[in-house]
Structure 1
Amino acid sequence: MDSAREAIRLVLVSFRAWLTDPKVMLVGALPALLSGVLIAALIVTLLVVSPSVEDLILDATGLDGTLGRTLSALLTVLVIVGGSVVAVLMFTTIALIIGQPFFEYLSRHLDERDGIEAVNVDEAWTGSLSRGMVEGLVTLATSLGILAVTALLGLIPVAGTVAAFLASAVLGGRMLALELTAYPMACRGVIARRDRITALRPVRATAYLFGTFIFLIFLLPLGTLLAMPVAVVGANTLSRRAIGVRAEGAAA
């Protein structure tokens, strides 16, 4: 419960950055805007084709009457819900890949504002580039793994849709927490992914719950646009707490 309260508090405090640094937050929202346009088109397409999906299911199963309509309606809802979850995961993956420069800018601004100096990490640009590419591939592989779990759970009648949704939120939240802390952790000398996972252990429950709450906000209208820079702010705070860094005159 303490971790849940702390995660909720972190979400609310991070949202406050829209009031204190609106211009910088707008920069952090740009990747979400670009990704959101692509994903919105996918969701609209799902809604448009959903009636055809129901007819296709009826034809494939050969069922008719009340039983056929009920089954096709349930499967259609599963397609729409599952497709929406897939859309959020795709959005997150795309936004994380194309938004790295924007998120780095936002993290640097937060540290400079709070008087925190980044660690001078001795890493060649080629190493940084290759590490970024590996991180992107890991993010993509993680997303595909989450989709596989979602698909398997979705096969369970009725309860499967709820289970798939919850599993996607929890696993997607963990992915968010790990990926968004990549840059602020690197600035503090923690570069490798496995080292980042180890460094986050003191705040692991709060970090993963924070990521889950952000994931759920992504599902709301305009949620992705507003919450992506908020997620970066929260990830920066989590990185400070994990490593024990404090801002001048205040707790990080």
Structure 2
Amino acid sequence: MRDLGTGFGYLTKGQRWVAGHGRWLGFGLIPGLITLVLYAAALVGLGFGADDFIAWATPFADDWNSPWLGLFRGFLTVLLFALGLFLAVITFTAVTLLVGQPFYESLSEQVDKSESPDGTAPESGLSLGRELWISARDSLRILVRAMLWAVLLFALGFIPVLGQTVVPAIGFCVTGFFLAQELTSVALQRRRVEVREQLALLRAHRMQIWGFGVPLAVCFLIPFVAVFLMPGAVAGATLMVRDLRRENEPEPQAHPRSQPHPQPQVNPYAGPAQPNPYQQPYAPPPPPSS
């Protein structure tokens, strides 16, 4: 539970950081607004076309009597729209980060500079085109994993009771993990950390990642909230990366006893040491006479 609270703390710290730097808040809203318009149009289109798609996909039910036909296809329509919403939540961050790569890269770099003692930030040394290619490639890999999970959870949703209780909870955990992975990839990519190493790092701190990502996944279900939380989420993910990689800890200093003793200074202009005529060599006393 402590790790869950720690992860949620990074989410709130990130929001406070952008609130204290208003210019970066407005700067980070631009990609989210663009992506929100695209996703809203896609979900509206899905809402209008879901009935026709389900009717086309289930021709075997055309001869069913009422009300079973309506209940069956209505249930599948709701599931289809829920699946589309689930994929929208998972992929929204990836698409927004891809659209806003230059924006969030600058935001994450500014967070690193503000937290670094020397005011510097790690740099990948790659060109913008190369960074966009790596970001698109990594996002596609994560998207494939997320879609596999989405199909699995969609199938498990048909299980009575479990499909309405346990499966949604697992879905939020999966969504939260992938959201955290996408957000931390902004800072980790500048540190030249590959996707496999990123996933290994996050899995080693799974509870903390869930504490950061699951509340964010819940908030992303509310319209327009994702847009306003994205800048702070990127800032919070950068702060979490710094702590996970122990970049905020001071470098250990050597113990004084482990340091070598200073050597005596030798005067190069002095001649060879002369014996002291007043100093006699030590001689042991003679043994007592019997």
TM-score (norm 1): 0.81
In the alignment, the residues of structure 2 paired with residue 124 and residue 68 of structure 1 have an alpha-carbon distance, to the nearest angstrom, of: 56
Superposed counterparts of 1:122-161, under 5 Å: 128=131, 131-156=134-159, 159-160=162-163
Partner residue of 1:216 out of 208, 215, 218: 218
Give, as a single letter, the amino acid of the residue that structure 2 aligns with 1:9.
G
* 1:192 pairs with 2:197: no
In the alignment, the residues of structure 1 paired with residue 195 and residue 246 of structure 2 have an alpha-carbon distance, to the nearest angstrom, of: 19
* 1:172 pairs with 2:175: yes
Q: Does structure 1 retain, via aligned residues, the 8 Å contact 2:90–2:178?
A: no
- Percent identity (aligned): 25
Superposed counterparts of 1:239-250, under 5 Å: 239-246=241-248
SS at match of 1:16: helix
In the alignment, the residues of structure 1 paired with residue 121 and residue 49 of structure 2 have an alpha-carbon distance, to the nearest angstrom, of: 50
Give, as a single letter, the amino acid of the residue that structure 1 aligns with 2:212.
F
Larger radius of gyration: 2
| Change in 2 beyond 3 A, CA 1:219/1:77 | same
Match of 1:231 in 2: 233
Q: Using the TM superposition, give the Cα deviation of residue 43 of structure 1 relative to its aligned residue in structure 2, in angstroms.
A: 1.7
Match of 2:257 in 1: none
| Change in 2 beyond 3 A, CA 1:157/1:46 | farther
SS at match of 1:81: helix
Superposed counterparts of 1:58-207, under 5 Å: 60-61=60-61, 62-115=63-116, 116-119=119-122, 121=124, 128=131, 131-156=134-159, 159-160=162-163, 165-187=168-190, 189-200=191-202, 203-207=205-209
| Change in 2 beyond 3 A, CA 1:164/1:228 | farther
SS at match of 1:4: helix
In the alignment, the residues of structure 1 paired with residue 23 and residue 2 of structure 2 have an alpha-carbon distance, to the nearest angstrom, of: 33
Q: Using the TM superposition, give the Cα deviation of residue 50 of structure 1 relative to its aligned residue in structure 2, in angstroms.
A: 4.7
What whole-Å deviation, never above 9, does each CA across 1:193-239 have from its counterpart, x for those lacking one? 22223344553321233122212211102122112212201210110
Q: Using the TM superposition, give the Cα deviation of residue 185 of structure 1 relative to its aligned residue in structure 2, in angstroms.
A: 2.5
What whole-Å deviation, never above 9, does each CA across 1:43-100 have from its counterpart, x for those lacking one? 2223334555676688642333343333333222212222211222332331122222
Gaps of 5+ in 2: 251-290
What whole-Å deviation, never above 9, does each CA across 1:7-47 have from its counterpart, x for those lacking one? 33332332223421222022222221111111111222233
| Change in 2 beyond 3 A, CA 1:159/1:195 | closer
Give, as a single letter, the amino acid of the residue that structure 1 aligns with 2:34.
L
Give, as a single letter, the amino acid of the residue that structure 2 aligns with 1:102.
F
Select between 16-25 and 52-61 the one with higher mean Cα deviation.
52-61
In the alignment, the residues of structure 2 paired with residue 50 and residue 64 of structure 1 have an alpha-carbon distance, to the nearest angstrom, of: 21
In the alignment, the residues of structure 1 paired with residue 79 and residue 165 of structure 2 have an alpha-carbon distance, to the nearest angstrom, of: 9
In the alignment, the residues of structure 2 paired with residue 13 and residue 135 of structure 1 have an alpha-carbon distance, to the nearest angstrom, of: 26
SS at match of 2:140: helix
TM-score (norm 2): 0.72
Give, as a single letter, the amino acid of the residue that structure 2 aligns with 1:191.
V
Select between 81-90 and 128-137 the one with higher mean Cα deviation.
128-137
In the alignment, the residues of structure 2 paired with residue 21 and residue 59 of structure 1 have an alpha-carbon distance, to the nearest angstrom, of: 57
In the alignment, the residues of structure 2 paired with residue 238 and residue 44 of structure 1 have an alpha-carbon distance, to the nearest angstrom, of: 36
| Change in 2 beyond 3 A, CA 1:40/1:157 | farther
| Change in 2 beyond 3 A, CA 1:160/1:245 | same
Q: Does structure 1 retain, via aligned residues, the 8 Å contact 2:27–2:103?
A: yes
Aligned residues: 247
Give, as a single letter, the amino acid of the residue that structure 2 aligns with 1:109.
Q
| Change in 2 beyond 3 A, CA 1:146/1:13 | same
Give, as a single letter, the amino acid of the residue that structure 1 aligns with 2:5.
R
Q: Does structure 2 retain, via aligned residues, the 8 Å contact 1:10–1:210?
A: yes
Give, as a single letter, the amino acid of the residue that structure 1 aligns with 2:41.
A
In the alignment, the residues of structure 2 paired with residue 171 and residue 214 of structure 1 have an alpha-carbon distance, to the nearest angstrom, of: 12
In the alignment, the residues of structure 2 paired with residue 134 and residue 55 of structure 1 have an alpha-carbon distance, to the nearest angstrom, of: 36
SS at match of 1:244: coil
| Change in 2 beyond 3 A, CA 1:59/1:17 | same
Q: Does structure 1 retain, via aligned residues, the 8 Å contact 2:17–2:232?
A: yes
In the alignment, the residues of structure 2 paired with residue 101 and residue 243 of structure 1 have an alpha-carbon distance, to the nearest angstrom, of: 23
| Change in 2 beyond 3 A, CA 1:27/1:126 | closer
Q: Which has the higher helix share?
A: 1
